């Protein structure tokens, strides 16, 4: 678990995804929380994430985390890494927060927690992220955690994308 000032970032396990696939309330019971409305922004990732973790159990800490707001005991979002570090020591982060919890600094706090966790591992040299090619909340989050714009490219599925990165200070 990654702890920040207001959040617990709980590493997802296959059992979490199995419960979530059956019923959101079953997951809430396991985590001993309530689910904020709209906390799972990308529900299509559930089955993929379950299969990924079953086939890559060593990637658990480099995969998805649930964001639990400690004071309210609510599951308010999710995010994490898009897999284990590559040979160059690079990982990619992503995050999403329920609409009612946006604009409160929680996405920034979660992203900062992920950055600190990643850089606590000696092999991690670079953290990347991608956003839509527009000024938006996610861009501001990445800027607040110290990421800088690298390039724009076109993704066949998502359109124009901006790439961001943060290098470990030596």
pLDDT in tens, 90-138: 999 999 999 999 999 999 999 999 999 999 999 999 999 999 999 999 9
CATH number of 2-167: 3.40.630.30
Task: Parse the chain into domains and list their residue ranges.
Answer: 2-167
Q: Which of 42-46, 79-83, 130-134, 144-148 has the lowest mean pLDDT?
A: 42-46
Tokens, residue 110: 């979660």
Q: pTM to 2 decimals? A: 0.95
| C-alpha angle 165-163-151 in degrees, rounded to nearest 5 | 105
Quote the pLDDT of residue 151. 97
Which sign does the torsion angle of CA 67, 69, 75, 76 carry? negative
Which sign does the torsion angle of CA 150, 152, 154, 158 carry? positive
Quote the pLDDT of residue 170. 75
Q: How far apart are the first and last CA of the chain?
A: 26
For β-strands 64-69 and 74-81, DSSP reports them as antiparallel
pLDDT in tens, 43-74: 888 999 999 999 999 998 999 999 999 999 99
């Amino acid at each position: 678990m990654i702890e920040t000032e207001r959040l617990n970032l709980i590493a997802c396990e296959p059992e979490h995804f199995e419960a979530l696939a059956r019923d959101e309330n079953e997951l809430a019971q396991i985590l001993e929380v309530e689910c904020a409305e709209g906390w799972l922004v990308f529900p299509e990732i559930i089955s993929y994430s379950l299969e990924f973790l079953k086939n890559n159990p060593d990637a658990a800490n480099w995969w998805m985390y649930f964001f639990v707001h400690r004071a309210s005991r609510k599951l308010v979002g999710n995010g994490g890494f898009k897999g284990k570090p590559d040979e160059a020591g690079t990982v990619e982060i992503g995050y999403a927060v329920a609409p009612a919890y946006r604009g409160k600094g929680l996405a920034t706090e979660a992203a900062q927690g992920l950055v600190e966790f990643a850089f606590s591992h000696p092999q991690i040299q670079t953290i990347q992220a991608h956003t839509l090619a527009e000024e938006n909340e996610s861009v501001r989050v990445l800027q607040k955690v110290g990421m800088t714009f690298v390039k724009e490219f076109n993704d066949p599925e998502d359109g124009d994308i901006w790439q961001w990165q943060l290098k470990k200070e030596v």
